[in-house]
A = this chain, B = another copy of it.
Amino acid sequence: MTSNLQDFLTTRKQAIEEYLFTYVQELKIPEELKSSMLYSLEAGGKRLRPVLVLALLHAYGKNEEDGIPVGCAVEMIHTYSLIHDDLPCMDDDDLRRGKPTNHKVYGEATAVLAGDALLTESFRLITSQLSSSVTSDQKLRIVDELVRSAGALGMVGGQFDDMEAEQKQVPLAELESIHARKTGKLLTFSVTAGAMLAGASDDDIEKLREFSYHIGIAFQIRDDILDLEGSEEKIGKRVGSDTANEKSTYPSLLTLTGAKEKLHEHITRAKEIVSNLELEQQLLHELCDLIASRDH
């Protein structure tokens, strides 16, 4: 990783976490519920989704300030989805990022409500926390994009189909459709919302939507590869769990070599799209490389 990228990731992660924790901390809500929400928000993670929002603003040479609440909104939605996915009736996971999952600490009922609360509250970061330089139309467009990305048309629908596909072999096209929604759509939101805040043209936004599709698929392929080749300590969960659960993955459908080739193709395509846009390309190219080679 270049020191340039490292510096961007470190400084932005810090700014995002500070805003996110303070915002939730200051809500006048039941203390134990707040504690449960903060537990999962503070459990760490790369903050990739908010970082992408800021990276787009940076690439367009814009002030990143309004990217922080928007980035925190998508991080809240990502976090709620992990809390609900880990529930006994869903994936029944006891550990997440090496720590006990939310329901193991706070009980299932509180975990359900903490997820519901994070999902609901995320929208208010957009309606009430942006500066006056963002127009009401821009805000509404971003809320609309977030609903499409996070709801039944996007992440929730992908999660449902993923659950249905468990323990059976699904064709590559279906696997791709599932991941494009389950993990891809929130990444797409981050990229397009960043571009919307930057005042990008509709044409740019559509090209960036395609860019985000490729990085979303690449992200998932890398996840599948890490499940086979990764370090348990770094990824914070058991290696080989996909194989044990008989899940269809890119390596299981394409072989490990085939999956690595596919990953390379998607990253190359993503970089090409960025190269044809009028924005500062270096940071976005470096983020593509990071997604392709990350070890956790």
Contact = CB atoms under 8 A, between A and B. Distances in A.
Interface of A: 27-30, 32-34, 37, 80, 84, 87, 89-90, 107-110, 112-113, 115-117, 119-121, 123-124, 127-128, 135-137, 139-140, 143-144, 147-148, 150-153, 156-157, 159-161, 163-164
A152 B156 CA distance: 21
Contacts of A80: 116
A119 B117 contact: no
A137 to B, nearest CB: 5
Given A124-B144, A136-B136, A163-B109, A152 B30 contact: yes
A257 to B, nearest CB: 32
Contacts of A27: 152-153
A156 B111 CA distance: 12
Given A28-B153, A139-B140, 18 more contacts: A29-B157, A30-B152, A32-B164, A33-B157, A112-B112, A113-B156, A113-B163, A117-B157, A120-B150, A120-B152, A120-B156, A123-B143, A124-B148, A127-B140, A136-B136, A136-B137, A136-B139, A136-B140
Given A140-B139, A152-B30, A161-B30, A119 B116 contact: yes
B110 A87 contact: no
Which of A90, A108, A121, A156 has the most CB atoms of chain B within a 10 A radius of its CB?
A: A156
5 contacts: A37-B152, A112-B112, A123-B123, A135-B136, A136-B139
Nearest to A34: B152
A30 B150 contact: no
Nearest to A142: B127
B110 A160 contact: yes
Contact of A33 (B116, B128, B144, B160): B160
A40 to B, nearest CB: 14
Contacts of A115: 116
Contacts of A140: 127, 136, 139-140
A145 to B, nearest CB: 9
